[in-house]
Amino acid sequence: MLRLITCSLVAIVVAGCGHGAGPRRDAAADRSAIEAALQQWPRDFNAKDLAVCALFEDDVVVAYPGGPDNGRPAFCRKMQRLFSDPEKRYSYAEPEIREVLVEAISPRSASYGLCR
The percent of residues in the chain predicted with pLDDT above 70, rounded, is 68
Q: What is the mean pLDDT of the chain?
A: 76
In a domain, 87, yes or no: yes
CA atoms within 13 A on the CB side of 8: 5
Helix (H, G, I), strand (E, B) or coil at 35: helix
Q: Find out whether 62 and 68 touch, Cβ atoms under 8 Å.
A: no
- Number of structural domains found in the chain: 1
pLDDT tens-digit readout, 34-88: 999 999 999 999 999 999 999 889 999 999 899 889 999 999 999 999 999 999 8
In a domain, 7, yes or no: no
In a domain, 6, yes or no: no
pLDDT tens-digit readout, 72-83: 999 999 999 999
Domain span at 51: 25-115
Q: How many CB atoms lie within 10 A of CB 45?
A: 20
In a domain, 82, yes or no: yes
Sign of torsion over alpha carbons 82, 84, 86, 87:
negative
In a domain, 36, yes or no: yes
pTM for the whole structure: 0.64
According to the model, what pLDDT value does residue 99 have? 92
